[in-house]
Amino acid sequence: MMIPEYFRKAVANPVVLLITPPLMQPNTPYPATPLLTGFLKSKGYTVFQADLGIELLRKVFSSDGLIKLFNEAEKYQGERSRELRRLLALRQQYIDTIGPVMAFLTNPTTDVATRITGRDWLPESSHFQTSIDLDWAFGSMGIIDKSKFLITRYLQDISDMITQCVAPHFSLIHYGERLSVSLPGFDPMLQALQEAPSLPDQWLIELLDKHMMEALPDLVGFSVP
């Protein structure tokens, strides 16, 4: 049997795409794919690496992303709690603040931190209802950490809205976890796969397609997690 020449080349020196799938703790580094990418490159392989978790979160938590997500959430036909109604009413404040918030997480500054800890800039919904003495918890020198704590609650509010109204499998640190943990059978996962993709699902597919088209890999590897 003759083996095609292109297959011989792919086996001898494959183009590899290594992917960290969504979603995991966004503030925790997962070095598996970067380390493996560096090792394989040192051996002469052509390797591309992508973190779809970070890329998806950047897509979701952007002004353009929130506009589309809020538009989808407004179509929600289920019961709307007081907290959800409040969050939807504050949509423009979320859209206006998400860009500076994400920029702050990349490059924290005391100016933005002061605005955040002033408690009159970020919109607040259900995750802010649990009271905590921030001065006692973080002290007078902890303004950056205090800001990140408040941002976490802000992002959790948005995430809850997405899960309830747009994409039931979405979570800040997991994606479809209920479909993979303690399932009695494969039927729930099969049913989910047959459903129309949610907006985050569509974005995830687009991100994967982009990397596949750019790398044209012979081999794709996913880290677990």
Q: What is the pLDDT of residues 166-189, one digit of tens each?
A: 998 888 877 766 777 767 777 877
Model-level pTM? 0.83
d(Cα 94, Cα 88) in Å, to the nearest integer? Answer: 9
State the DSSP code for 196: P
Position 221 scores a pLDDT of 94
Question: Which two structure tokens, joined as six digits, stand for 16?
Answer: 């590899």
Task: Kindly report, residue by residue over 123-161, the tens digit of the pLDDT.
Answer: 987 766 665 655 555 555 578 888 988 998 999 999 999
d(Cα 58, Cα 65) in Å, to the nearest integer? Answer: 9
How far CA 25 is from CA of 53, 163, 164, 172, 173, in Å, comes to 9, 17, 20, 7, 5
Position 77 scores a pLDDT of 85
Task: Kindly report, residue by residue over 3-54, the tens digit of the pLDDT.
Answer: 455 545 556 678 999 999 887 776 677 788 999 999 999 999 999 999 998 9
Position 3 scores a pLDDT of 44
How far CA 216 is from CA of 49, 112, 212, 219, in Å, comes to 12, 42, 5, 9
Position 7 scores a pLDDT of 46
Position 92 scores a pLDDT of 97
pLDDT band at 61 (very low <50, low <70, confident <90, very high): very high
